[in-house]
Structure 1
Amino acid sequence: MVMTGMLALPEGCIAAVIAFTTPRDACRLACVSTTFRSAADSDIVWNRFLCPEYLSKISDPGSVSSLSKKELYLCTCHNPIHNGKLCFWIDISSGKKCYMISPKGLYIQDIDDIEYDDVIAWSWWSLPDLQKFFDYIPFGRFPEVVMRSEPEDFEIRGKISTSLLSPMTTYVAYLVFSIASFVHIEDVTSYIIYSPIKVFAGLVESNNGQRRTVYFHREHQYGDDNGLFPKKWAWLLENEFNERYGWLESEFGEFFNRGDVEGELLMTVETTYKVGLIVQGIEIRPKKE
Structure 2
Amino acid sequence: MYIYRDRRETRTGMYGIKGEAEERHIERESENNSVCDFLFVRMGMNMATQNDREREIKKLEEEDDDDDDKAVDYFYKLPGDCIANIISFTSPCDACRFSLVSPAFRSAAESNSVWERFLPPDCYSIISRSPSPLPLLSCLSKKDLYFSLCDFPLFIDDGKKSFSLEKWSGKKCYMISARDLLIVWGDTSRYWRWIPLPDARFPEVAELIAVCWFEIRGKLDVRMLSPLTTYAAYLVFKSTTSAYGFEHLPVETTFGLVGGETSKRNVYLDAERRRRQRYPTLPRRLGRNYRSTILDSRSCVPEGNENGTYPKERKDGWLEIELGDFYCGGDGQDGELEMSVLEVKRGNWKGGFIFEGIEIRPKGV
TM-score between the two structures when normalised by the length of structure 2: 0.65
Contiguous gaps of at least 5 residues in structure 2: 1-68, 278-298
Q: Which amino acid aligns with 1:287?
A: K
Q: Which residue does the alignment assign to 2:335?
A: 263
CA contact (8 A) 1:192 1:273 kept: no
Residue 254 in structure 1 maps to residue 325 in structure 2? yes
Q: Which residue does the alignment assign to 1:187?
A: none
Residue 124 in structure 1 maps to residue 194 in structure 2? yes
Change (3 A) 1:21 1:179: same
Residue 276 in structure 1 maps to residue 349 in structure 2? no
CA contact (8 A) 2:246 2:268 kept: no
Q: Which residue does the alignment assign to 2:119?
A: 50
Shift of 1:179: 1.2
Give the Cα–Cα distance (whole angstroms) in 2 for the partners of residues 30 and 178 of structure 1: 41
Q: Which amino acid aligns with 2:341?
A: V
Q: Secondary structure at the match of 2:356?
A: strand
Residue 66 in structure 1 maps to residue 66 in structure 2? no
Residue 286 in structure 1 maps to residue 340 in structure 2? no
Q: Secondary structure at the match of 1:75?
A: helix
Root-mean-square deviation (CA, aligned residues, Å) is 2.4
Q: Secondary structure at the match of 2:86?
A: helix
Change (3 A) 1:7 1:287: farther
CA contact (8 A) 2:120 2:172 kept: no
Q: Which residue does the alignment assign to 1:200?
A: 254
For residues 57-96 of structure 1, what are the structure 2 equivalents within 5 Å? 57-58=126-127, 59=130, 60-64=132-136, 65-76=138-149, 77-96=152-171
Higher mean C-alpha displacement, 102-111 vs 263-272: 263-272
Contiguous gaps of at least 5 residues in structure 1: 115-119, 129-138, 184-189
Change (3 A) 1:37 1:157: same
Q: Which amino acid aligns with 1:74?
A: F
Stretches (4+) displaced over 6 A: none
CA contact (8 A) 1:173 1:284 kept: yes
Q: Which amino acid aligns with 1:286?
A: P
Question: For the pair shown, which has the larger CA radius of gyration, 1 or 2?
Answer: 2
Give the Cα–Cα distance (whole angstroms) in 2 for the partners of residues 284 and 51 of structure 1: 16
Q: Which residue does the alignment assign to 1:30?
A: 99
Give the Cα–Cα distance (whole angstroms) in 2 for the partners of residues 29 and 204 of structure 1: 43
CA contact (8 A) 2:92 2:118 kept: yes
Structure number with higher relative contact order (C-alpha < 8 Å, ≥ 6 residues apart): 1
Q: Which residue does the alignment assign to 2:56?
A: none
- Picking from 217, 222, 226, the partner of 1:157 is 217
More helix by proportion, 1 or 2?
2
Give the Cα–Cα distance (whole angstroms) in 2 for the partners of residues 156 and 34 of structure 1: 53
